[in-house]
Structure 1
Amino acid sequence: MVKSFQGVREVPVKNGKDQKISVKDFMTVNVITFHPDDSIDHVIEVLTKKKISGGPVVDSTGGLVGMISEGDCLRAISKGQYTNTPRFPSPVSELMTKEVITMHPDMSIFDAAQEFLEMRIRRFPVVRNGKLVGQLSVSDIVRAMPKLKSATW
C-alpha cells in the first residue's frame, strides 16, 4: 500500500478574512456591575439571584474602580459572626479589590487564556480608555473554542 503525504495545508477562510479571535468578540457586554456605595447586603442579594460569583465596581461615569466577589462577601459574613450582625451594611468600597488587572478588548483570545492560567483569576474586566466595556471569564473562552476554525490555531 502506498501512502501519500501532502504536508500541511492551510484551510481557506471564508470571505478571505482572518477569523476574529480577540477578547471583544467573546466577552460579555451586558455586565452586572456594582457601585462603591452599594451595601454588601445588596451585592449578596444580586449574586445569589443572578447566580454569579462577582462583578466589576464602577463609578458614576462608568470607570472601573474595583471588583467585588463572593470571597469578599464571605469576609463580611465572617466578620458579622463576631459582631452578631445578621445584616451587612458595609459599603462595597470597604471590601472590594481595588488593584484590578484588566484586559483590552483587542487582546488575542489565546493571550487571554494564558493570563487566566498564570493569574488564576476567574474573570477579567475588559477596559478601553478607563471605561468598562465588558467582562471575560474562563467560561467565555471555553465556549469560544468550538467556534474557532482550525486555521486560526
Structure 2
Amino acid sequence: MHSLKVVDYMNRHPVSFSPEMSIEAAVSVLLQSNQRGGPVVDAQHKLVGFLSEQDCLATMLRDTYHNEQSATVGDCMYRGDVVTVDADSSITDLAQQMTANKPKMYPVVDTERQLIGVITRTDVLRAIDLHLRDGYSRR
C-alpha cells in the first residue's frame, strides 16, 4: 500500500483564501464549497496560514456581539506551523499521521511551500478503501 501517493487522491483545486479577504466573503465561499476550512495563501500562492470553520465562527460571533463587520481572513486565521504534506508522500504514512494529529485537512505543498492541493481524511479513507476493495476482488 506504500505505492499509494497523496498526489493521486488530493484535491488539486481546493478553496483557498487570501489574508485580505473579508471573513464574510470567506464564510460564503466555505458554505458554497462544503469544505470545512482551507489554506490561506499570499499573492505568490505560498501557504501563510489556515482558516477553519471554528476560526470563522469565533470571529463572526465576536463581531455580532460587538455589532462589527471588519475582520479579514488574516485577522483570524491560524498563523502557526500549519501541518502540510508533500504530493509524493505515502497515503499509509499520512493515514498514520492523521490518527495521531487533529487536522482533518492537510495542505499539499511543494518545496517552496506553494499550495498545490489539499487532502482530507475522507480522501485518505477513500484511497485505502479502494485499495482494499481492489485487493479483495483479485482473490
Query: What's the TM-score once normalised by structure 2's chain length?
Result: 0.87
Corresponding residue SS for 1:136: strand
Number of residue pairs the alignment of both structures matches: 132
**Offset of 1:98 from its aligned partner?**
1.1
- The answer as to whether partners of 2:50 and 2:78 remain within 8 angstroms in 1 is yes
Query: Structure 1 stretches of 5 or more lacking a match?
Result: 1-17
Query: What's the TM-score once normalised by structure 1's chain length?
Result: 0.80
Q: Identify if the C-alpha distance between structure 1 residues 63 and 141 changes in structure 2 by more than 3 Å, giving closer, same or farther.
A: same
**Offset of 1:19 from its aligned partner?**
7.9
Could you tell me which residue of structure 2 aligns to residue 150 of structure 1?
A: 135
**Offset of 1:82 from its aligned partner?**
2.6
Query: Structure 2 stretches of 5 or more lacking a match?
Result: none
**Offset of 1:146 from its aligned partner?**
3.0
Whole-angstrom CA distance in 1 between matches of 2:35 and 2:9: 18
Whole-angstrom CA distance in 1 between matches of 2:105 and 2:54: 14
Residues 51-107 of structure 1 deviation map (CA, whole Å, 9 limit, x = unaligned): 22111111111100011011000111221233123xx33111111011211011111
Could you tell me which residue of structure 2 aligns to residue 21 of structure 1?
A: 4
Whole-angstrom CA distance in 2 between matches of 1:47 and 1:83: 23
Corresponding residue SS for 2:98: helix
Corresponding residue SS for 2:117: strand
Could you tell me which residue of structure 2 aligns to residue 107 of structure 1?
A: 89
Query: Which of 76, 93, 108 is the aligned partner of 2:74?
Result: 93
The structure 1 segments of at least 4 consecutive aligned residues displaced by more than 2 Å after TM superposition are none
